[in-house]
Structure formats: C-alpha cells, structure tokens
Amino acid sequence: MKRGRPRLRNVIKPLILEILTDNTARSINSIKKEISKKLHKRVSWNTIQKYLQELIEGGKVEAISTPHSKKEGKEGLTVYMLKK
C-alpha cells in the first residue's frame, strides 16, 4: 500500500475532466481558477497546460483555436472541451 500524498497528476486530471463535463468551452485560466478553488491550493498555469496536453494526446479532450479578434490570419484564445 502506498503512503503519503497522492501524485498531483492523479488529482488534477480527473478534476479537469470533471470541470469540462458541463459542455462549455473553457480556457486554461478558467480551469486553473476552478481547480485552485477546489484544492484550496494555488496551481500553476503551466501545470494545467501540461495535463491538458496529456489529455489531448490521450483523446479525451480537444483544443479549439479561436480566431484573433483584431489581427487577421492569427490565432486567438485556445479553449478546451471534452471530445464527443
């Protein structure tokens, strides 16, 4: 039996999937705020991005790139949703 704190990966990945179940597209920042609130602990933007990338590679989450609001031909904010 393992002892000690659970790995951050085993805590954050299910929380990301839980947050994305409401079928609204969310940015990394909004996911980060929600997870920080649930864990009562500050979580890094880079940490959320890393685990989101793993979920995308695993085929559970999809990234949707929105067009830039002011510059033509450039990408804007990237939002994430559960894959259907």
Tell me how crowded residue 41 is: count the other CB atoms within 10 A of its CB.
10
The answer on pLDDT for 2 being more than 80 is no
Domains in the chain: ranges and CATH: 8-82 (1.10.10.10)
pLDDT (tens digit, 9 = 90+) per residue, 55-69? Answer: 999 999 999 998 887
Residues of the chain with pLDDT > 90, as a percent, come to 68
**pLDDT band at residue 44 under the 50/70/90 scheme:** very high
Q: b/e for 53-65, b at 16 or more Cβ within 10 A?
A: eebeeeeebeeee
